[in-house]
Amino acid sequence: MPAIRNIAVGLPVKEGHVLALFGTDSSRGLDFLRAIGGGIEFGERADEALHREFMEELGVTLETATLLGVRDNIFTYEGVPGHEIAHIYALTSSALDAVPLDAELHVLDEGSPVRWVPIAEVREGTRLLFPDGATELLLALDAG
């Protein structure tokens, strides 16, 4: 039986933009955004995983991480079903604040592009943001 994966992801926000990973599901012809982060290891708290993942994926430290919510993410990616419990965080990082809005970063361990995206594109549905529930939490964060 497939396993449920616990993940911790963050939504860095700067000047009306969110920093997100750009992905593609070629089986559906779908381009999407994904919140940055990854799996929670055994014995690790979700906030610790978030800090570790941002260091591993972008080489940056986080100053703060505030839990926005926990959401079930049941999905299909490249034709394979998946299920995650996503701990979604607001965060601050002076290292990310220093990244220009027109910059393109790459995930260090696998190369996926990461860019600042106008939150308005997520609000208008022009860009899909995963995991499920991240969009509503981002829009509530942006409104606050």
Q: Which domains does the chain have, with CATH numbers?
A: 5-80+90-143 (3.90.79.10)
* Integer-rounded Cα radius of gyration of the chain: 14
CA distance 7 to 132: 12
> Which of these ranges, 27-31, 56-60, 140-144, has the smallest mean pLDDT?
140-144
Write out pLDDT tens, residues 84-118: 999 999 999 999 999 999 999 999 988 899 999 99
Whole-number pLDDT of residue 1: 60
Distance CA 106, CA 111 (A): 5
pTM of the complete model: 0.94
Facing residues of 91 across strands?
Answer: 12, 65
CA–CA separation, 133 and 11 (whole Å): 12
- The set of residues, in sequence order, having a beta carbon less than 8 Å from that of 115 and lying 6+ positions away, is 19, 20, 22, 103, 104, 105
Tell me phi and psi for residue 74, to 5 degrees.
-105, 125
